[in-house]
Structure 1
Amino acid sequence: MNEEWFREELYPHWRQSFQITRELYRANDGLQDIVLFETPGFGRVLTLDGVIQVTTGDEFVYHEMLAHVPIYAHGAVKSACVVGGGDGGMLREILKHASVEQVVLVEIDAAVVEFCRQHMPTVSAGAFDDPRTEIVIADGLKYMAETTRRFDLIVIDSTDPIGPGGVLFTEQFYKDCARCLTAEGIVVNQNGVPFLQGEEVTDTYLRRRPHYADVGFYMAAVPTYVGGLMALGWASASSRPRGETVETIAARFQAAPVTTRYYTPEIHKAAFALPQYVQALIPRD
């Protein structure tokens, strides 16, 4: 029996493979190579330009931690913006909060949204059609530079800082995001796997520090993103949200609970305790 495998070659010295039980889609829309296939262990897997973006098996870890940590830390998020996130998973988690009145999704590639709506509907779970959702097909860099809107939460749900996603890791973009925050607003983003991509932590800290009152990182274990714990970037116009006690977070969770599979108030607080090798990547002020 011939087995077919997908091999992700994100790193020159380390590759991971997924057994393909069925290829569902393959195309190049002019912006990205899109491939969707099914695996025995991770469900449906979406890749862009040969790099794993999301799997239906473990996406809940990533989406829950980028959505619920800042929302419960802030305590009163009403407006949010997701840059990237065309699969709809981040929308799904943010919209679980009844207090959220509007979420703007800024996605550069309309084909990704339509593709995920059709082929991975469990990821968005109807979030694209929620009346609180506004979809803007635009370059996130340009949108943040030009918009006059202000948000309590900005989630940068981007690819790694290679290729088109690189602009979303620049100091100018982080400065524009800071301008678009409300008084205690928060920006979070995926920041790579520090064991293999340590420079991303250092670069993000240095580029954000001049523009925010509080800059830091927290961690989550996402099986698909190999190499140990994944870093999630944190930047806020206020130092208050990150310092909230676990008791305060738990009280907010109990008062306005959402259904989760990974996130808990205890995980929320513990996620900010960084391993020593990650702490060493953060420059001393």
Structure 2
Amino acid sequence: MTEKYRERVCNGYDHVLTIDERLYDVRTDHQHLLIFKNRAFGRVLALDGVIQTTEADEFIYHEMMVHVPVLAHGSVRRVLILGGGDGATLREVLRHRTIQQAILVEIDPSVIDLCRQYLPNHSMGAFDDPRATIVLDDGLHFLQTTHERFDLILTDSTDPDGPAEMLFSRPYYAACKASLAPGGVLVTQNGVAFLQLDEVRSSARHFNALFRDWHFFTAAVPTYAGGIMAFGWASDNPELRQQEATTLQRRFSQTGMTTRYYTPEIHRNAFALPQYILDAIGKTSP
């Protein structure tokens, strides 16, 4: 009988993938880490019983997390990534030639080491880019002790359990705000909205207390079962979220990049939220 990986998404709903080949299984100093092959999704990384990323569809999540804020901002030079030890967010950031420095802060060095070995297409050499700096630290601790400022901060974390719990707290978001350069943007991973609506509500409360402009944008990522994936957006510059389609198209064309999911049209429409999310965060349609 084929071995199966069962993830408890929520009470009453499990997500099941076949384990066609178990590649690595270890308990690190921080969490349980499993990498396996699945015939539909390719190589899969799971941490503490939760699937984090797969070879087949990671491009959707990572292109949206990175290119939406970079192209909305228009002059990002310094980026901070909190989490993201698989390297794919760093990869997409460094595809922008205008980026001068990207600092990635990961608490668990085993994630970086094993993803470099077993999921090399996630990073595609990004860890060795001279513009990249890798810091082994807790994300909140790094923010509270750094004096550097960033045009863009990306929270590419696991869900709010275990090592990432503090990355969804008011002190964390306040520390992010303090580390943003004027006009900077914070983008966060906020789970599958339909099944994890409390994550969205909680972040919305914190954003509302701290930032002049905040919202969420979405993408459908097959790996994250249960509906659309929500990304948090927070900034003190409301104009960034309202960029004209022509501006986004011009900036995207200037990058010379080829993407598999992101387009300027998807970018603009991704901020249109279904009514159940708007109700949860206390907003109305534009």
Common fold by TM > 0.5? yes
Question: Cα RMSD over matched residues?
Answer: 1.0
Query: 2 CA distance for matches of 1:133 and 1:241?
Result: 25
Moved more, 79-88 or 249-258: 249-258
Q: How far off is 1:20 after superposition?
A: 1.4
One-letter code aligned to 1:213 = R
| 1:59-98 map, 5 Å | 59-98=58-97
1:178-199 per-residue CA deviation (whole Å, 9 max, x = no partner) reads 0111111000011011111111
Q: Which residue of 1 aligns with 2:10?
A: 11
Cα contact 2:213–2:237 (8 A) shared by 1: yes
1:161-212 per-residue CA deviation (whole Å, 9 max, x = no partner) reads 1222110000111011001111110000110111111111111011121221
One-letter code aligned to 2:224 = Y
Q: Unmatched 5+ residue regions in structure 1?
A: none
Query: 2 CA distance for matches of 1:272 and 1:257?
Result: 24
Q: How far off is 1:284 after superposition?
A: 4.9
Query: 1 CA distance for matches of 2:73 and 2:246?
Result: 14
**Equivalent position SS for 1:57:** coil
Query: 2 CA distance for matches of 1:87 and 1:255?
Result: 27
Q: Which residue of 1 aligns with 2:152?
A: 153
Query: 1 CA distance for matches of 2:207 and 2:144?
Result: 16
| 1:23-42 map, 5 Å | 23-42=22-41
Q: Within the alignment, does 1:53 sit opposite 2:34 as a pair?
A: no
| 1:109-120 map, 5 Å | 109-120=108-119
Cα contact 1:178–1:237 (8 A) shared by 2: no
One-letter code aligned to 2:149 = R
1:127-183 per-residue CA deviation (whole Å, 9 max, x = no partner) reads 000000000000001111111000000000001112221100001110110011111
| Consecutive aligned runs of 4 or more in structure 1 exceeding 3 Å deviation | none
Q: Which residue of 1 aligns with 2:206?
A: 207
Q: Within the alignment, does 1:239 sit opposite 2:232 as a pair?
A: no
Cα contact 2:45–2:52 (8 A) shared by 1: yes
Query: 1 CA distance for matches of 2:219 and 2:143?
Result: 27
1:201-255 per-residue CA deviation (whole Å, 9 max, x = no partner) reads 1110111212211110000000010111111000012111101111110111112
Q: Normalising to structure 2: TM-score of the pair?
A: 0.97
Q: How far off is 1:103 after superposition?
A: 0.2
**Equivalent position SS for 1:184:** strand
Query: 1 CA distance for matches of 2:86 and 2:200?
Result: 25
Q: Unmatched 5+ residue regions in structure 2?
A: none
Query: 2 CA distance for matches of 1:120 and 1:237?
Result: 36
**Equivalent position SS for 1:80:** strand
**Equivalent position SS for 1:135:** strand
Query: 2 CA distance for matches of 1:31 and 1:239?
Result: 38
| 1:99-114 map, 5 Å | 99-114=98-113
Cα contact 2:90–2:126 (8 A) shared by 1: yes
One-letter code aligned to 2:282 = P
Cα contact 2:29–2:108 (8 A) shared by 1: no
Moved more, 55-64 or 249-258: 249-258
Q: Normalising to structure 1: TM-score of the pair?
A: 0.98
| 1:170-189 map, 5 Å | 170-189=169-188
One-letter code aligned to 2:240 = P
Q: Which residue of 2 aligns with 1:22?
A: 21
One-letter code aligned to 1:134 = T
Query: 1 CA distance for matches of 2:274 and 2:283?
Result: 16
Q: How far off is 1:64 after superposition?
A: 0.4
**Equivalent position SS for 2:248:** helix
